[in-house]
Structure 1
Amino acid sequence: MEPVSTSGLAAFLKFYGAAVAVTLAICLVATVVIMMRLPRSPQEWAVGLICTVVSSLTGGAFIIVKWGLHEWVTDIWGMIALGGFFFVCGLPGWAVVRWTFNFINKQEGKTIVEVVKYLKEAKDDLKK
């Protein structure tokens, strides 16, 4: 092959490999998270899945950009490590959704004033 098409093919494979690593990490974290804490409703399942994917992508991207890990894409082991970052960043996404659902369900039937008072008391308790 000529050098231009060879380098184009290599660049395409590098991009494709990174996309596969990211997709695999996101699928695995979504599977692990949802299997550990089964959703109580289809709505909670959908929201949890979306939040897990978003937290995986944004958290992993933040780590890569913050610490300049872009060059790790050139090596298979580097891509596996980057996939691990995406995986780990997705785990808290579902937990935050679950905590939010629990809090909202607990506050159902209360006025906004009662909820604000509760939050203020909780904040004051944290300071102690």
Structure 2
Amino acid sequence: MEPVSTGSLTAFLKFYGAAIAVTLAIAAVATVVIMMRFPRSPQEWAVGLICTVVSSLAGGSFIIVRWGLHEWVTDIWGMIALGGFFFVCGLPGWAIVRWTFNFINRQEGKTIVEVMREIKKVKDE
């Protein structure tokens, strides 16, 4: 029986190291966002958590793929740096969703034409 090759072991450790770095970054950003902007209800808490996780994963992944930062997955410091991208990208996610829903709530009862006029008015200012 052949021993486990170091190549597959290294790939295994890199994958789980990246998964741990991403998970820690997302947990940290979710904690920071929810503690700074305390949710008004349990539903808002769940929405905040989901939006923070999704924006962290999508934004961090976009930055890594767009600028080819995959090569940083060579040691622990590269993993920490990539985790920082996931952290930073998660911060604006909850704020953007909250602003969007506040705008939608203010438009309650208006027709689509009135909403479009208001958007156009804000755009022209």
Q: CA deviation at 1:41?
A: 2.3
Q: CA deviation at 1:12?
A: 0.7
Q: CA deviation at 1:3?
A: 7.0
- 1:80 and 1:31 map into 2 onto residues whose CA distance is 18
Q: Quote the residue 2:8 is aligned against.
A: 8
Q: CA deviation at 1:65?
A: 0.9
The answer on 1:59 being equivalent to 2:59 is yes
Residue identity in the other structure for 1:82: L
Show structure 2 runs of 5+ residues with no match.
Answer: none
The answer on 1:84 being equivalent to 2:65 is no
- 2:103 and 2:43 map into 1 onto residues whose CA distance is 16
CA RMSD of aligned residues (A): 1.5
- 1:40 and 1:108 map into 2 onto residues whose CA distance is 20
Query: Under a length normalisation based on structure 1, what TM-score does the superposition of the two structures give?
Result: 0.89
Moved over 6 A (4+): none
Q: In the comparison of the two structures, how many residue pairs are matched?
A: 124
Q: Quote the residue 1:106 is aligned against.
A: 106
- 2:59 and 2:69 map into 1 onto residues whose CA distance is 13
Residue identity in the other structure for 2:92: P
Show structure 1 runs of 5+ residues with no match.
Answer: none
Matches within 5 A, 1:39-54: 39-54=39-54
- 1:66 and 1:78 map into 2 onto residues whose CA distance is 17
- 2:78 and 2:52 map into 1 onto residues whose CA distance is 23
- 1:112 and 1:46 map into 2 onto residues whose CA distance is 29
- 2:113 and 2:44 map into 1 onto residues whose CA distance is 26
- 2:124 and 2:115 map into 1 onto residues whose CA distance is 14
- 1:50 and 1:98 map into 2 onto residues whose CA distance is 12
Q: CA deviation at 1:116?
A: 1.2
- 2:3 and 2:72 map into 1 onto residues whose CA distance is 23
Residue identity in the other structure for 2:22: V
Q: Quote the residue 1:121 is aligned against.
A: 121
Query: Under a length normalisation based on structure 2, what TM-score does the superposition of the two structures give?
Result: 0.91
Deviations 1:52-99 (A, max 9, x none): 111111111111111111011111101000000000000110110111
> Greater CA deviation, 91-100 or 36-45?
36-45
